[in-house]
Amino acid sequence: MPLVQPLSADANKDVKKLAEFFNETLGFCPNSVLTMQIRPEIARSFISLNMAVMANEGRVTSALKRLIAWVSSNATGCRYCQAHAIRAAERYGAAQEQLDNVWEYKTHPSFNDAERAALDFALAASVLPNDVNENIQAELHKYWDDGEIVEMLGVISLFGFLNRWNDSMGTVIEDGAVDSAETYLGKNGWERGKHV
């Protein structure tokens, strides 16, 4: 049972309009946003930040951003965010082979060295204590410019917030996110956990 029950999608017309962004991303408005709208400015600010972070300004594709979000969420253990990230990666065109083998990104041939550097960065930046070291930095700078690194850390940081929010809140996971998680993550033990 969630810590706080989400409001209906129609509770705040301004938030509802902004939240239409998630219909493209996920196919539904997440329960996390419906809970945030209890304090509408938190919901509005979060949605605006999400839009800014997920905008494509360089070579970091929408699909890679969502895979970065998955690695980050996997590192922190938030099953709600793992499911959302893999669903969004699927909807934003991640290669089928990458979706099927995301757990093996370090060695699977569907991931190139630039993607591995980005995903290793996501992992190192998401664990406590933080593990971003000179080797991680050097690999990142081989393939990505400063703006692209900022975009990646924006995703990691956004999901740091979401991981804390959804795991602490016990946010109920939506059926569409469950479907994607079971398809791509279930073979490696993904389950809803507290998000029922």
pLDDT for 58-113, tens place per residue?
899 999 999 999 999 999 999 999 999 999 999 999 999 999 999 999 999 999 99
**Residue pLDDT, tens place only, 110-152:** 999 999 999 999 999 999 999 999 999 999 999 999 999 999 9
pLDDT of residue 58: 82
How many whole angstroms from its chain centre is CA 105?
A: 16
pLDDT of residue 19: 85
pLDDT at 57 over 90: no
Arithmetic mean of pLDDT over the chain:
96
Parse the chain into domains and list their residue ranges.
Answer: 1-196
pLDDT of residue 15: 84
pLDDT of residue 12: 86
pTM for this model (two decimals): 0.96
> Is CATH 1.10.1200.10 the classification given to domain 1-196?
no
Return the SS3 of 51.
helix
pLDDT of residue 157: 98
pLDDT at 16 over 90: no
What is the distance between the alpha carbons of residues 94 and 97, in angstroms, rounded to a whole number?
Answer: 8
- Other C-beta atoms closer than 10 Å to the C-beta of 146 total 10
What is the distance between the alpha carbons of residues 30 and 177, in angstroms, rounded to a whole number?
Answer: 9
Helices (H), the chain: 13-19, 21-25, 31-36, 40-54, 62-76, 79-91, 96-100, 113-126, 134-143, 146-169, 175-184
Phi, psi (deg, nearest 5) at residue 51 = -60, -45
